[in-house]
Structures are given as C-alpha cells and as structure tokens.
C-alpha cells in the first residue's frame, strides 16, 4: 500500500496517538484536503466529511460490519452490531419495542429519576467528587441492569463485565492481542443470560427476545446492549457536563432556561461523540469521493470529523447550546446501525444533568485537577473532578 500512502500525505502523517489525544486539528486538515484518506497506522481508510460518512453508513451492501476483523464480534460473537441485511434485522427486531420514545419514557423515566436522585443525595454532602465514576458510570450501569433484567445480577457485577469487555475490544481495535479477562467476563454474562431465560417468569427483555433468538444469540446481543448502554451514557453525561462547566456563559444560558438543556446535550454530542469512529469493510471495489477503495479494505468513519464539518455546522469548534441544527450530529451513527437506545440515553443524560445543575450549587470544575476527553474509539475524560457549594438544596 506504499503507492496508496504516497497519494495521501496527510493520512500518512497521521498517528493513532494523535487521534486519541487531540484529534480535531488533524481531522480538520484531513476533511479539507483528504476527506477519504489512507492511514497506514490504521491500515485502512478514514472518512471525515459528513456527506461521505452518510454514504458509507447508509450503504450496508457496499460497506458492511459483517467481517471477521470486527472487534466486538471477536469478543462476544455475532450480534446486531456485527451483522447486516436480513440477519441484522432478525437480531435487532426482538429488542426494539422497549426503546421507542413513548416506551422509553413510560418504562424508564421514573427509575432514572429515582436512581439519579439517590446518587446526587449521596454525593452532595462532600462538596466535591469525581463525577464520571461516582455518578455517570453508576447511573448508566443501574439503568442497563434494570433494562436487561438479568436474574441475580448486581450493578457492580455488570460494571466489572463491561470494563473487561471494553478493554478487550479496545485492545483488538488498537491492533493488540486481547487478554483473557474479556472472554471470561463474557462467559459469565452468557451464564447469567441463560439463567434469566430459563426463569420464564422473569420480567426481562431477554426472556421475550428468547422467543425469537437462540440463547447464545440473546447473550451476544445482551452484551452489545450492555456495552453500548453503559459506554454511550457514561460518555454523554461526562462530556456534556465537561462542555457546560468549561463554558460558563453557555451554562448560564441553560440555568436561566432549562429548555436549552436538550440543545446543550446535542451540541456536546456533536463536538465530542462518545464513539469517535465506526468501522465498515468494503464488499467490492468502489469509489468514495476520489478514493479508489478495494474489496476487503477497512473503511473507518470518523463521527468526530463528520460532526465538525463546516459545510453543515458553521464555526464548528464552538460550543453553542442554541445551535439550530445540532441534532444533525451523527454521534448515534446512521442507517441500519443507528443506535437502538438513542432515546433512552438522551433521557438519562437530560435527567442526570438537570439533577446535577439543580441540586449542586455553583457546580464547577476542580481547577487543581484539569481534564480533557481522550480515546481513539471511545472518547470521554478519564476523570471529571468537580466541586460545588454546600447549600441547602
């Protein structure tokens, strides 16, 4: 591929470390000059322009997820995340009903309110906390545990499984050999799914799905839902809170009009999607933009790059809670693999931020412990240390 690399000098000079640390300047250069670029370190193509990203995600027959190299499938097996066409539909449809907008509100809002209130009440007397793992993570885990209805499983166990599976997927994506922990965690999850499905009286999404899928298929999709539900929600809450606290003027607008909170969430998703990239594999020789892609090539869509396309989002690096078209962001992907639980994670994030801003007076970043989003595939601050005044609210 040396000839290909020579045709894409910006891609040849792009490192995965740079994309993990601070990708935005490099993505802007690529988007302007090489919107479909060959990256030797990725051993694949990187797509950074929004219109081209949509082309890839909409065309599952040309750009598929169904490939042995797909990292998540290597850990948990085939699922709705790693299949296309009729097989994808068969795996996804048994799980769709609870995640429609009305069903999400009716089925989850009161639980999320209660769990969020409990977490904030426990945190408030300290006047300071690391809010990613003391708040965003526990909330996400509690909701996923509630949604899946796994028999005899605690949020702490689910979190341990999630951590191990995420590490394995991230290692594979970065080209490393995954350790045994992810495989062991998935085996435990699968056993819990089997026990839940065997308990036909359990009020579980998994039991209803087992009427249409085999138990191993239910387990694979449960892992994907757990993985996505925790990762996406933890990232959304943490990134949105970081954006608001970094921009006091925008925070003041939201506090004066909580109707702007949804706009703040969408704008945060645009600026820093929790899942920075999605991978596809070319099923045939094709042309994307000016790039000649060969069958079998890895085609990685940078959701982060597409979300800052200045052709769609003027002044794209600015955080603007009043941005009128922020919902055009692609943080939940697009096409047949659009995030199944997008309505749920939006609801979680809205309730979470409302409680934090309402009940933690003068909430602010800890100036002694600065932070920033980080990650090649999944982007969020490693920590989010905050302080607040000890009021009476």
Kindly tell me if the per-residue pLDDT of 248 is higher than 60. Answer: yes
**Cβ atoms 299, 47 nearer than 8 A:** yes
Q: Which residue, 199, 99, 79, is CA-closest to 149?
A: 199
Give pLDDT tens digits for 34-54: 999 999 999 999 999 999 999
Contacts of 321 (CB under 8 A, 6+ apart): 250, 253, 254, 260, 263, 264, 267
Give pLDDT tens digits for 73-116: 888 889 999 999 999 999 999 999 999 999 999 999 999 999 99
Give pLDDT tens digits for 148-190: 888 788 888 988 998 898 888 878 877 788 888 988 999 999 9
Helix, strand or coil for residue 235? helix
Helices (H) and strands (E) in the chain, counts: 18, 10
Kindly tell me if the per-residue pLDDT of 140 is higher than 60. Answer: yes
What distance in Å separates the CA atoms of residue 239 and residue 329, rounded to the nearest whole number? 15
Gyration radius of the chain's alpha carbons? 21
Q: Which residue, 273, 290, 375, 304, is CA-closest to 37?
A: 290
What integer is the mean pLDDT of 361-385? 95
What distance in Å separates the CA atoms of residue 216 and residue 205, rounded to the nearest whole number? 15
pLDDT band at 393 (very low <50, low <70, confident <90, very high): very low
What integer is the mean pLDDT of 257-272? 98
What integer is the mean pLDDT of 59-76? 92
pLDDT band at 204 (very low <50, low <70, confident <90, very high): confident
Q: Give the number of other Cβ atoms within 10 Å of residue 184's Cβ.
A: 14
**Cβ atoms 74, 314 nearer than 8 A:** no
With b for 16 or more beta-carbon neighbours within 10 A and e for fewer, the 104-123 pattern comes to beebbeeebeebbeebbeeb
Q: Which residue, 350, 265, 269, is CA-closest to 308?
A: 269
**Cβ atoms 150, 218 nearer than 8 A:** no
pLDDT band at 19 (very low <50, low <70, confident <90, very high): very high
pLDDT band at 65 (very low <50, low <70, confident <90, very high): very high
pLDDT at 155: 86
**Cβ atoms 125, 392 nearer than 8 A:** no
Q: Which residue, 79, 382, 111, 98, is CA-closest to 227?
A: 79
Kindly tell me if the per-residue pLDDT of 283 is higher than 50. Answer: yes
Helix, strand or coil for residue 339? coil
What is the CATH number that goes with domain 2-387?
1.10.630.10
Domain ranges of the chain: 2-387
Helix, strand or coil for residue 225? helix
pLDDT band at 202 (very low <50, low <70, confident <90, very high): low
Beta-bridged to residue 130, according to DSSP, are 385
């Amino acid at each position: 591929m040396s000839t290909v690399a020579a045709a894409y000098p910006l891609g040849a000079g792009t490192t995965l470390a740079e994309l993990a640390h601070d990708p935005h300047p490099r993505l802007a250069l690529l988007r302007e000059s090489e919107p479909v670029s060959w990256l030797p370190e990725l051993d694949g193509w990187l797509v950074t322009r929004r219109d081209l990203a949509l082309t890839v995600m909409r065309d599952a027959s040309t750009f598929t997820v169904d490939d042995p190299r797909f990292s998540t499938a290597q850990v948990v097996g085939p699922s709705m995340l790693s299949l296309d066409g009729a097989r994808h539909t068969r795996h996804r449809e048994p799980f769709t009903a609870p995640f429609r907008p009305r069903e999400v509100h009716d089925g989850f809002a009161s639980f999320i309110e209660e769990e969020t209130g409990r977490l904030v009440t426990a945190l408030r007397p300290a006047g300071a906390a690391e809010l990613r793992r003391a708040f965003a993570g526990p909330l996400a885990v509690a909701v996923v545990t509630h949604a899946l209805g796994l028999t005899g499983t605690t949020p702490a166990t689910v979190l341990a499984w999630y951590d191990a599976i995420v590490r394995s997927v991230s290692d594979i994506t970065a080209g490393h050999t995954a350790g045994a922990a992810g495989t062991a965690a998935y085996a435990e999850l699968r056993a819990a799914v089997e026990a839940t499905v065997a308990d036909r009286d359990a009020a579980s999404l998994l039991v209803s799905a087992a009427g249409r899928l085999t138990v191993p298929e239910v387990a694979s999709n449960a892992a994907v839902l757990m993985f996505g539900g925790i990762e996406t929600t933890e990232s959304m809450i943490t990134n949105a809170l970081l954006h608001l606290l970094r921009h006091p003027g925008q925070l003041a607008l939201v506090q004066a009009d909580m109707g702007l909170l949804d706009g703040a969430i969408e704008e945060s998703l645009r600026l820093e999607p929790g899942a920075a990239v999605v991978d596809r594999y070319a099923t045939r020789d094709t042309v994307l933009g000016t790039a000649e892609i060969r069958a079998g090539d890895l085609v990685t869509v940078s959701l982060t790059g597409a979300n800052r396309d200045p052709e769609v989002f003027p002044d794209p690096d600015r955080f603007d809670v009043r941005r009128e078209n922020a919902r055009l962001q692609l943080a939940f992907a697009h096409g047949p693999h659009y995030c199944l639980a997008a309505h749920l994670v939006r609801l979680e994030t809205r309730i979470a931020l409302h409680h934090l801003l309402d009940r933690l007076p003068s909430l602010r970043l800890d100036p002694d412990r600065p932070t920033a989003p980080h990650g090649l595939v999944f982007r969020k601050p490693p920590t989010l240390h905050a302080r607040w005044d000890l009021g009476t609210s």
